[in-house]
Amino acid sequence: MTSQPTTRPGHDPHVVVLGSLNTDLVMRTERFPEPGETITARSFQTFIGGKGLNQAIAAARQGARVSMIGRVGDDSFGDTLRAVAQREGIRTERLLTTPGVTSGVANIIVDDKAENVILLSAGANGRVTPEDVYAASDLIASADVLLAQLEIPLETVVAGAALARRHGVKMLLVPAPAKPLPNELLANVDVLLPNRVEISAVLSAPSHDLETDARRVLGIGARTVVVTLGSRGALVLDGPPAQAKALSVPAFPVKAVDTTGAGDAFAGGLAVALAAGEPLPQAVRRAAACGALACTVMGAEPSLPRREAVDALLAANA
């Protein structure tokens, strides 16, 4: 039987995603080309993607009510991205269309080790403004969780985090693509979800030791840091930096074919579990199951697991 996405009867977890939507143009090859080298790909496919839309779909497939704040261009890619979001049951009243601008595109290469490299054209994602966030303030105020990433302008994410804090809404931030973050943003983040590269990149003076840097982020004001470590699971630090204990959450062993979207599946799963009131260790375990399953299918959107599959993986590893 599929589990319910809430621990509070009568409460319908509500996640608002502030972020990007892309069309992923994916080539599969044995290895990445060297600079100046031309190699022939084994296959080419087009997928729905963008960290924002992936996370919104991931959350919707875990059973949450999901709304998306973002922008697409007035092109056929934008029409398709909007249609897919709606097909997944995502509310799109705050998904705006920017005339005369292309929608976001990601050129992705996946090698035989299931690793990827991604080159982004932000397009309309680069036009999401703080005013778009303020116009959605009622929506944000009604959410349990606001989930954001960094494929839209940083000032817009800063505005979203401040608004979430003002309304007592839990703010989850995936700091990808990696970049240094202002303290005013980190101070308004409840859960920062970096990978091992991003945890150092967010700090102006990183130590490059995972746990030390996670404690530094807590010292700036984030309440929880969950560092995703791929096949090594996740490292969780929660609370004031001096007292926070480091908790290791193991990964689920799976045969990976493509890791694209795995971090987004993790983030969407964590957002829903926390919106539902699950305790942090249990929520991270569910998120890790979402991420593991996403590695087993090619492409971002097709790999985002449904709740039944996640329940089954959790039960098989209880």
Q: Between residues 21 and 218, which has the closer beta carbon with respect to ligand RIB?
A: 21
The answer to whether 17 and 56 have CB atoms below 8 angstroms apart is yes
What are the residues whose beta carbons fall under 8 Å from the beta carbon of 167, sequence distance 6 or more?
A: 137, 140, 141
Per-residue mark of binding to ligand RIB, 281-310 (x: CB under 6 A): -------------------x----------
Per-residue mark of binding to ligand RIB, 79-118 (x: CB under 6 A): ---------------------------x-----------x
Q: Between residues 151 and 238, which has the closer beta carbon with respect to ligand RIB?
A: 151
The answer to whether 33 and 39 have CB atoms below 8 angstroms apart is yes
Sheet of 104-110, strands arranged across: 43-49, 22-28, 104-110, 116-121
Per-residue mark of binding to ligand RIB, 37-66 (x: CB under 6 A): ------------xxx--x------------
Element (H, E) at 165: helix 154-166
What are the residues whose beta carbons fall under 8 Å from the beta carbon of 189, sequence distance 6 or more?
A: 161, 171, 172, 173, 221, 222, 223
Q: Between residues 73 and 263, which has the closer beta carbon with respect to ligand RIB?
A: 263
In order, the DSSP letters of 203-227 are: SSS--S-HHHHHHHHHHHT-SEEEE
Q: Which of 54, 82, 47, 21 is nearest to 271 (CA)?
A: 54
Select from 73, 261, 269, 291 the one that contacts ligand RIB (CB under 6 A).
261
Q: Between residues 163 and 290, which has the closer beta carbon with respect to ligand RIB?
A: 290
Catalytic, 264? Answer yes
Dihedrals phi, psi of 9, to nearest 5 degrees: -55, 135
Q: Between residues 26 and 169, which has the closer beta carbon with respect to ligand RIB?
A: 26
| Catalytic residue, candidates 75, 79, 264, 311 | 264
Element (H, E) at 122: none
The dihedral region occupied by 181, where left means phi > 0, alpha psi between -120 and 50, and beta the remainder, is beta
* Smallest gap from residue 2 Cβ to ligand RIB (A): 26
Per-residue mark of binding to ligand RIB, 131-160 (x: CB under 6 A): --------------------x---------
> How many chain residues bind ligand RIB (CB under 6 A)?
15
What residues between 169 and 198 interact with ligand RIB by CB under 6 A? none
Q: Could you give the residue numbers annotated as active site?
A: 264
Residues that bind ligand RIB (CB under 6 A): 20, 22, 24, 49-51, 54, 106, 118, 151, 260-261, 263-264, 300
